[in-house]
């Protein structure tokens, strides 16, 4: 292990081939400098190369790699093809499914980007480095000392608002602008209802879907809401997070939820979406 680290350091301080004047690897396209941080990987790889396919409701396996969705759907999120692996396992590039797909050694499916030349080795090495370093989110959404005094705002990532997505849906991903404590998850604030097949949530035939909620990442807070019994089948769904109660934050300061995003505390966060049978 120690020997290995020395090798890497020596390589970086070495003859500098393939590195720019700051000793960072040079990307082959566009002349932009790829760095081992999330924003740089988003700008140089995910957005230009991957979002051709991995965007919107039809993104393969629900994996959207557009800016704003990608972090929540990668870090600590289970792969669909090999559910025992996370797409990105912070600190461990070898067991990160993303890396296996980029290196063409994954147990299922093709090498990414699909049907295109593989990414250059140096590019994959930078993504590996970002994961080794803990897979932090460098865009810095939330988590600052300042944000502790803000109200809790929630954003739907996947499925998006009013979106129609193919079945099965294994989890609903939302993010928060501030770091949430697990006491949010223990309280009865989160409710998921199925419409009963009519797309209407007031007709009396609605069904409550029991869910578990887990925090997948702290900065930004990524919340995964998972149906306890089975993935969501075809129907319309409403996820409601109550805005009436304060939420305990990471530092145990109770902050109110601004559920409806009007800048004042209160109001429920409501996300409606539809799951469709795939042909």
Name the residues that contact ligand HEC, by CB under 6 A.
45, 49-50, 52-54, 60-61, 63, 79-81, 87, 97-98, 101, 109-110, 112-116, 119
User: What's the Rg (C-alpha) of the chain?
Assistant: 21
Residue 195 binds what, of ligand HEC, Ca ion, none (CB under 5 to 8 Å, by partner type)?
Ca ion
Least distance CB 108 / ligand HEC (angstroms): 6
Spatial contact of 171 and 224, defined as CB atoms under 8 Å apart: yes
Task: Quote the CA–CA distance of 265 and 245 in Å, as a whole number.
Answer: 9
DSSP letter for 57, please. T
Distance CA 79, CA 98 (A): 9
Binding of residue 121 to Ca ion (CB under 5 A): no
Residues 127 and 41: their CA atoms lie apart, in Å, by 7
Nearer to ligand HEC, 101 or 128 (CB): 101
The option from Ca ion, ligand HEC, none interacting with 248 (CB < 5 to 8 A, set by class) reads: none
Name which of 52 and 105 has its Cβ closer to ligand HEC.
Answer: 52
Applying CB under 5 A, does 207 fall inside the site for Ca ion? Answer: no
For the bound state, the minimum distance from the C-beta of residue 77 to ligand HEC, rounded and expressed in Å, comes to 8
- 182 sits near Ca ion (criterion: CB under 5 A): no
- Enumerate residues 6+ apart whose C-beta is below 8 A from 172: 156, 158, 159, 192, 224, 225, 226, 239, 271, 273
Task: Rank residues 96 and 147 by Cβ distance to ligand HEC and give the closer one.
Answer: 96
Q: Give the C-alpha separation, 238 to 232, whole Å.
A: 12
203 counts as binding Ca ion under rule CB under 5 A: yes
Min separation Cβ 98 and ligand HEC, Å: 5
């Amino acid at each position: 292990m120690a020997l290995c680290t020395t090798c890497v350091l020596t390589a970086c301080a070495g003859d500098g081939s393939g590195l720019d004047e700051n000793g960072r690897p040079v990307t082959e396209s566009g002349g932009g400098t790829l760095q081992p941080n999330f924003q740089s990987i988003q700008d140089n790889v995910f957005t230009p190369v991957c979002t051709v396919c991995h965007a919107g409701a039809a993104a393969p396996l629900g994996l959207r790699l557009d800016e704003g969705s990608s972090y929540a759907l990668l870090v600590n999120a289970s792969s669909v093809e090999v559910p025992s692996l996370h797409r990105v396992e912070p600190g461990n590039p070898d067991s990160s499914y993303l890396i296996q797909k980029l290196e063409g050694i994954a147990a299922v499916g093709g090498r990414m980007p699909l049907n295109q030349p593989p990414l250059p080795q140096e590019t994959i090495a930078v993504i590996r480095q970002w994961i080794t370093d803990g897979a932090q989110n460098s865009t810095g959404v939330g988590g600052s000392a300042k944000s502790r005094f803000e109200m809790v705002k929630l954003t739907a990532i996947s499925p998006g608002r009013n979106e129609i997505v193919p079945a099965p849906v294994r989890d609903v991903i939302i993010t928060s602008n501030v770091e949430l404590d697990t006491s949010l998850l223990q309280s009865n604030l989160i409710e998921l209802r199925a419409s009963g097949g009519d797309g209407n949530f007031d007709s009396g035939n609605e069904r409550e879907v029991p869910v578990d909620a887990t925090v997948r990442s702290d900065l930004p807070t990524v919340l995964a809401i998972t149906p306890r019994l089975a993935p969501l089948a075809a129907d319309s769904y409403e996820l409601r997070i109550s805005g009436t109660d304060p939420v305990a934050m990471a530092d145990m300061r109770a902050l109110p939820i601004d559920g409806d995003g009007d800048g004042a505390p209160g109001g429920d966060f409501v996300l409606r979406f539809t799951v469709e049978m795939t042909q």
